[in-house]
A and B are shown apart, each in its own frame.
Chain A
Amino acid sequence: MNFLITPTLEKSLVSRRGIATVPEEMATVSCECVTRKPCSGLAAFPLVARNLELELARMGKLMVGRLARRGYEWLGELKIHGPWPSYEFNERLADIEAEAWKRAAVEKDLSYTLPFVFEWNAASPYKDYLLVGDFLLQNVLTEVIVKE
């Protein structure tokens, strides 16, 4: 009889980054990252940016709740950084199963993959804020190829 012994896995402290997209006109408050200085996130919002504060609070709550369903235990703090030109993920996510990947592989013609590449568009009407928080997450067994 064969026995399979699996170790008891612990939890790890992990940092997750959530991306919140807002209209450019709402993104009126910046952290020090934008000027490439050491930054610990936005400390306070001026009263005139109340709409932004409420929107980011809503997004933060959504992030914590949605990650909780994935097993992330929030440790109580979210730092806000940004804004940067938006990645506009709603339009630019590539489909890993798209036919173009197969054609590129079969025909060895990488030009089929070019539509999946995008550059930041400084003229985007949207801005991204980054919400960074620490969470506890159950470890999993991870395959690692040791390189020599």
Chain B
Amino acid sequence: MAGTLTVTQAACHIPELWSADTRDAVEATVVAAGLVESEKYGLSELKGGPGDTQNIPYISNPTANTKTANTNITLEVIGPSSAEASQSFTVSTHQHVAFAVENITEVQSKTNLRAKYTDKAGYALAAAADTNLHTLPQSFSQITGTLGVEPTFDNWQRASQYLDDGNAEEGGRFIIVRPATYYAMRKIDQFVNADYTGGGAGGQMKVGREQVGTIWGNVPVYKSTLVRAPAGGQAENWYGHREGVYYCSQDLRTRADFVIERDSDVVLSTHIYGFAEALQPPITAGGGAATDAFNVLVRGTS
């Protein structure tokens, strides 16, 4: 929370202020990156470095065996083929925004001027991170709907059932859609008509931005133009669960460099992060191949 504005005689270069301002702008702007898993499974340990890879082990369910009298228990090695596998998550995306600055000392010493650069860098880097996350749905194996066609109530029901079948918890689910798909949802009686929504089982579609409603009583719906549109009129919307995607913002730095040939001070913001679809081991006793059970691609309109 911002507090008092003070004026202090300080060293002319305070890069940590720039970096903190940019991080605040990014965190306040992202939609998808704010909804997916970024803390558990050791992801928080990658923040700030060192290291760029986290191996996230799958934990399969053991088999329940019947104990026979007068025989020893056979110990079970958990996991498929008696070897618990893991998913390797790597931080490997480096993105930058750079501005030329007329008078770096003046910009650094004035909060308002500095914010002009750090906020804009933050907006662009946040948009780029969300855009990268929205490239994941095209690879989801669970798919409903048709590209270029408004998703129907049945499509949304099927998507929800996919998550149920995959044992994704009710809490933590979310939907991110392109605006055209959002307005298609507003045409679905079960989401907007009080006859359906009164009991909370249907949905509420408000007019607004970012979180614009809920369906099934508690699944938030977000609207974003950053959802991938593979072609004109098409959208790859995303119905997922928090633990269906890993995201780690490892480092976000803003610093001032001097570009010698251009005789120019440059403010350079760099965002280092990683993102990947999270695979879930099956609930089947004894384990099995991990799948992307916590995500559904809902094809629709753009």
Interface residues of A (CB under 8 A from B): 7, 9-10, 12-21, 59, 62-63, 66-67, 70-71, 87, 89-90, 92-96, 101, 104, 108-111, 113-114, 116-120, 131, 137-148
The total of interchain contacts (Cβ-Cβ below 8 angstroms) comes to 168
Residues of B within 8 A of A148 (CB): 1, 3
State whether the Cβ of B225 lies closer than 8 Å to any Cβ in chain A: yes
> Which of B1, B11, B257, B260 has the most CB atoms of chain A within a 10 A radius of its CB?
B260
**Would you call B105 and A119 a contact (CB within 8 A)?**
no
Q: Is B5 a contact partner of A89 (Cβ separation < 8 A)?
A: no
Cβ-based interface call for B136 (8 A): no
The answer, yes or no, to whether B95 is at the interface (CB within 8 Å) is yes
Residue pair B12, A137 in contact (C-beta under 8 Å): yes
Whether A14 pairs with B126 at a CB distance below 8 angstroms is no
Write out the residue numbers on chain A whose beta carbons fall within 8 Å of the beta carbon of B120. Answer: 94, 96, 101, 113, 116
Alpha-carbon distance between A21 and B98 when the two chains are bound, in angstroms = 16
Q: Does B111 contact A (CB under 8 A)?
A: yes
Closest A residue to B265 using CB positions: A70
Given contacts A71-B105, A96-B116, A139-B9, contact A119 B95 (CB under 8 A): yes
Interface class of chain B by DSSP: mixed
Which chain B residues numbered 107 to 144 have a C-beta less than 8 Å away from chain A?
108-112, 116-117, 120, 123-128, 130-131
Closest CB of chain B to A59's CB: distance in Å? 5
Question: Which residue on A lies nearest to B210, using beta carbons?
Answer: A108
**Which A residues touch B93, using CB under 8 A?**
119
Which size bracket describes the interface of B in this complex? 35 or more
Chain A positions within 8 Å of B262 at CB level: 89-90
Mask, B82-105, CB within 8 Å of A = 1, is 000000000001111111100011
Bound together, the chains give a CA A63 to CA B265 distance in angstroms of 11
- A38: min CB distance to chain B, Å: 13
Inter-chain contacts of A120 with B (CB < 8 A): 94, 96
Q: A19-B258, A59-B260, A118-B95 are in contact. Are A143 and B116 (CB under 8 A)?
A: no
B59 at interface, CB cutoff 8 A: no
Chain B residues in 8 Å Cβ range of A87: 96, 98, 268
- A141: chain B residues at CB < 8 Å are 7-9, 109
How far is A9 from B128 in the complex, measured between Cα atoms in Å? 41
Contact with A along B216-257 (1 / 0, CB 8 A): 000000000110000000000000000000000000000101
Are B260 and A142 in contact, with the CB atoms below 8 A? no
